[in-house]
Amino acid sequence: MPSVLPLGDPAPANGQLPAQVLEGVADRAFGLYVHIPFCAVRCGYCDFNTYTATELGGGASQDAYGGTAESEIAFAARALTESGLPPRRLGTVFFGGGTPTLLPAEDLAGILAAAVQAWGLEPGAEVSTEANPDSVTAESLRVLKDAGFTRVSFGMQSAVPHVLKVLDRTHRPERVPQAVQWAREAGLAVSLDLIYGTPGESMADWEESVRTALSYEPDHISAYALIIEDGTKLAAQMRRGEVPPIDDDDHAAKYKLADQLISEAGFAWYEVSNWSRGENQECRHNLAYWRGDDWWGIGPGAHSHVGGVRWWNVKHPSAYAGRLAAGDSPAAGRETLDPETRNVERVLLESRLSSGIAIGTLGSGRTAIAGLIADGLIEPASAFAGQLVLTLRGRLLADAVVRRILPD
Amino acid sequence: MSPMARTAPVPAATDPAIIRNFCIIAHIDHGKSTLADRMLQFTGVVQSRDMKAQYLDRMDIERERGITIKSQAVRMPWERDGVSYALNMIDTPGHVDFTYEVSRSLAACEGAILLVDAAQGIEAQTLANLYLAMENNLTIIPVLNKIDLPAAQPDKYAAELASLIGGEPEDVLRVSGKTGDGVEALLDKIVHDLPAPIGDPNAPARAMIFDSVYDTYRGVVTYVRVVDGMLHPRERIQMMSTRATHELLEIGVSSPEPTPSKGLGVGEVGYLITGVKDVRQSKVGDTVTNLAKPAATSLPGYADAKPMVFSGLYPLDGADYPVLRDALEKLMLNDAALVYEPETSAALGFGFRVGFLGLLHLEITRERLEREYKLDLISTAPNVEYEVTLEDKKIVQVTNPSEYPTGKVAEVREPMVSATILAPNEFVGAIMELCQSRRGVMGGMDYLSEDRVEIRYRLPLAEIVFDFFDILKSRTRGYGSLDWKADGEQVADLVKVDIMLQGEQVDAFSAITHREKAYAYGVMMTGKLRELIPRQQFEVPIQAAIGSRIIARESIRAIRKDVLAKCYGGDITRKRKLLEKQKEGKKRMKMVGRVEVPQEAFIAALTTDESKDKAKK
């Protein structure tokens, strides 16, 4: 999550949700996101809500974090029930960060156990964690598997040392295949995260990273363009002219190359930045975000969504822990979306998926369809069948497509 | 301390012999307002303790509003040698755009204080107004202001003033409006040096309008100087140029608050209120007379204001068009020089072609529209009025490049100006280079002092309306000053350059230029647009053409990526807000064919920035 929280309405201390969240609840999956706000080192590009060990002390320390997160789980379970929502089992759980695996595997297992105790898991539920290749061992991955984790997503980012250095990534590239192998041996599905467009990364560097990632035979690959966020070290370096500025054309070429190589290896895109070997290997938790499902976000700065109500927790781990210790909601603010805004979100989120969005639901935006076909931005055959699905060119210009199909 | 007048002369019963009418001629930042404030304070018109609260503050607001500042005519009592005098201080607009208004203000006075910053010396506009004052046979009192400044060079500039207007450097008064130093001596000198007004008290009333201001509560307030006879409240008056008649609802003097009187007699200065709502019914320079006993001839010097510079004004948001229309209507009530008519641009939508006295007038008007009426405006590049003669002898007046006739053109005439530039002599080369590049013909050069020169050029008006003054300023490191006045017209080899985006002509960017400069304009504008227009989903060619002949071309490459890769850990709110921002941005785009052009591009393309061009080199 970004370092700056949105502006919103105040959130009630008891976490109570308005009655509108009950509407259509049976059609929405329910998931849990757990934010682990710790990293060994802050990366130069990262503006996520995360803290290195030396930045925190007292009640917000790493040691105490598991207990604090578990107390929000208890709070969440009570708030959802008291808001009148029926009991629902978790379809997906996702531990993100930060670096979740910086906490002992037992702590992660403990948090998951608390969630399972509160809500239970759907049969075949997906339970993922992000991991730094440096902070896992064969043993820790086994502990996660035994605790109920099904999937691990490694922040590989690049296979090229000089690129990793610009990103401030500390892991050694050769560590990745080792970690992947351990995860496989533990019985976990594996995803690899890549970043393209890092300053100084050549096309050959990127090709090497994609080919290397594919050679480890993951189940799933994410490839994200590097975004320079305000307030990061990279942004400062760029301002000082120490690293070259981001070039969108370079990003576009690298995206196309990645899509080509990953597709040739037998993967298919299912969301603009995500590819999987098959439907069963898609990240269902990630899909839930794009499909407008419900999830509760545990942890400082975490975002939640339930039935058109979005909220976000206070950012600082100490403030977060303090709220929960006092029995109050850790939410910093929230917004209750009106039907129009929910529709805008639906269009902007669903259009990024390979499943696309039903053209019949676009209202006045339907007038743009012919133009989008003419401009090669959406698949004609899908459009004829009533579904808007982005072409490769359309994926690269997805935001422009969304602006064209949204009502004015 | 010199005594304040114990008894002030009463309006309508004041012997002209004790009246002194004067104005202050000064450059904009040479301290006129401060000196005026000090005079108000020293004559007791404004109490010292109220000075800041009442008067300066009001002046600040007026100053901020630019053009309305021109309306000041304050009556102040001052006693000298046991006689109470009535001093009328008449404010004059300080800028060359308002030369006509200046000349009328001057015509209401017998004398002028020539106020010059002792650290800066005289500026071209001041010099121009000084010439006008001398043409009106005004007695000049030269004064150096800001003598308290460490950078003041009073000896140097006293010598400069003395050589300009004749007399000795010792005769130049030295004051500080800030500290009040020398202000009493100045008031004494006004009484002593300036002649009293002369007029026939028994003749039919004649009063000259030197200013006319619209007031929301009172309607038009007309400032007059009575020359002959007397005006009384409740009588019917007539405007001699328009023959319009009105009832005098109120007559009085400002001191400085409006104070009704029993009338105004020979030599007196004051205000009239008739209840009219439009300053056009009370024109500067016109003569007011008594309807029952009218004067046979009006006072000399009346002229209709003639716009020199034209620009299209368009609301950024087309929905604001009615707001702009209403705003222009309201401004017109207070600005007799403003003319406008509706205009449509394919690129900019509905707007108005507005005629101005000059660039400052344009800037002030635009700023008022934006600030007082909360409008976001695009103003097209200012241009002048051309007279185009076709081969069939038909004559077309062109105030907008899009009106340029497409038929065979026999001859194009453009308005000319004679310009006077003052600057330190080290910049003569730079100034001559600039003027030559603007098709100027040198008329002469004189040394004002050892190191300051006056350079005279005849130039096409079109060459100075756009960026001439800014460039002059930058090439003379801020020291150069400019004054100009209309000076006939000339036949010139002019062509219209069109700019096309994806083959579609964008009327807002068309320009009428000299043939030799058409190529440079085409290269400049296509290059600018390439920088300013964001990449689209397709390649966009930008061309400049004279008729069907392409003289410059550029192209904008197609955009290849426009997607946010990541949606941080479920922070959909952020992504949606970004999208909303983009949508908002799209609303601020004007569609030219299929090309989305940001409003900012229009604004930026229509302004020049020499310093930016320099930085590129």
CB-based contact B570 A2, cutoff 8 Å: no
Of A273, A290, A400, the CB nearest to B562: A400
Per the prediction, chain B carries an average pLDDT of 86
Which chain A residues are Cβ-neighbours of B318 within 8 angstroms?
A: none
Give the model's pLDDT for residue B567.
61
Domains of chain A, start order:
19-290 (3.20.20.70), 338-408 (1.10.10)
Of A33, A397, A402, the CB nearest to B570: A33
Q: What 3-state class would DSSP assign to B533?
A: coil
Which of the residue ranges A243-247, B307-311, B350-354, B586-590 has the most confident prediction, judged by mean pLDDT? B350-354
Cis (ω within 30 of 0) for the bond into B169?
no
Give the model's pLDDT for residue B131.
78
Which one has a higher pLDDT value, B165 or B125?
A: B165
Q: Looking at CA atoms only, how far is residue B369 from chain A in angstroms?
A: 28
Which of the residue ranges A203-207, B259-263, B562-566 has the most confident prediction, judged by mean pLDDT? A203-207
pLDDT digits (tens, 9 = 90+) for B96-133: 567 777 888 889 999 999 999 999 988 877 887 887 78
Which chain A residues are Cβ-neighbours of B587 within 8 angstroms?
A: 408
The answer on pLDDT for B283 being more than 80 is: yes
Banded pLDDT at B562 (limits 50, 70, 90): confident
Which chain B residues are Cβ-neighbours of A302 within 8 angstroms?
A: 569-570
CB-based contact A310 B572, cutoff 8 Å: yes
CA dist B60 → B37, B56, B63, B115 (Å):
12, 6, 5, 20
Interface of A with B in 271-290 (CB under 8 A): 272-273, 289-290
pLDDT digits (tens, 9 = 90+) for B500-517: 999 988 888 888 999 998
Enter the ipTM.
0.81
CB-based contact A344 B572, cutoff 8 Å: no
Long-range CB pairs of B169-174, under 8 A, 24+ apart, other chains included: B171/B142, B172/B142, B172/B143, B172/B144, B173/B141, B173/B142, B173/B143, B173/B144, B174/B118, B174/B143, B174/B144, B174/B147
Residue in chain A nearest B559 by alpha carbon? A249
Phi, psi at A297, each rounded to 5°: -100, 115
Give the model's pLDDT for residue A291.
93
Banded pLDDT at B4 (limits 50, 70, 90): low
Give the model's pLDDT for residue A312.
94
* Averaged pLDDT, B347-355: 89
Which one has a higher pLDDT value, A8 or B62?
A: A8
Reading chain A (408 residues) residue by residue, the pLDDT tens digits are: 445 667 778 889 999 999 999 999 999 999 999 999 888 777 777 777 777 766 665 556 888 899 999 999 999 999 999 999 999 999 999 999 888 988 999 999 999 999 999 999 999 999 999 999 988 999 999 999 999 999 999 999 999 999 999 888 888 889 999 999 999 999 999 999 999 999 999 999 999 999 999 999 999 999 999 988 888 888 888 888 888 888 889 999 999 999 999 999 999 999 999 999 999 999 999 999 999 999 999 999 999 999 999 999 998 888 999 999 999 999 999 999 999 999 999 999 999 999 999 999 998 888 889 889 988 899 988 998 899 999 999 999 999 999 999 877
Q: What 3-state class would DSSP assign to B574?
A: helix
Q: What 3-state class would DSSP assign to B252?
A: strand
Give the model's pLDDT for residue B65.
41
Q: Looking at CA atoms only, how far is residue A398 from chain B in angstroms?
A: 5
Long-range CB pairs of A332-335, under 8 A, 24+ apart, other chains included: A332/A5, A332/A8, A332/A11, A333/A5, A333/A6, A333/A7, A333/A8, A333/A9, A333/A10, A333/A11, A334/A8, A334/A9, A334/A10, A334/A11, A334/A309, A334/A310, A335/A6, A335/A8, A335/A9, A335/A309, A335/A310, A335/A311, A335/B573
Residue percentage of chain B with pLDDT more than 90 = 47
Nearest of A407, A339, A342 to residue B586 by alpha carbon: A407
Which one has a higher pLDDT value, B467 or B542?
A: B542
Q: Is B581 on the interface with A (CB under 8 A)?
A: no
Instruction: State the count of interchain CB pairs (< 8 A) between A and B.
Output: 108
Sequence-separated (6 or more) residues with CB below 8 Å from residue B481: B27, B123, B124, B125, B421, B422, B423
Interface of A with B in 166-205 (CB under 8 A): none
Which range, of A9-18, A131-140, B59-68, B299-308, averages the lowest pLDDT? B59-68
Banded pLDDT at B68 (limits 50, 70, 90): very low
pLDDT digits (tens, 9 = 90+) for B178-218: 899 999 999 999 999 999 999 999 999 999 998 888 877 88
Q: Looking at CA atoms only, how far is residue B578 from chain A in angstroms?
A: 10
pLDDT digits (tens, 9 = 90+) for B382-404: 889 999 999 989 999 998 888 89
Q: Looking at CA atoms only, how far is residue B501 from chain A in angstroms?
A: 19
Give the model's pLDDT for residue A1.
44
Query: Which of A249, A257, A290, A336 is the best mutation test for B, with the most CBs of B within 10 A?
Result: A249
Q: Is A315 on the interface with B (CB under 8 A)?
A: no
Which chain A residues are Cβ-neighbours of B564 within 8 angstroms?
A: 227, 399
Give the model's pLDDT for residue B154.
94
Banded pLDDT at B140 (limits 50, 70, 90): very high
CA distance B119 to B125: 17
Of A8, A248, A303, the CB nearest to B569: A303
Can you give the pTM of this predicted structure?
A: 0.64
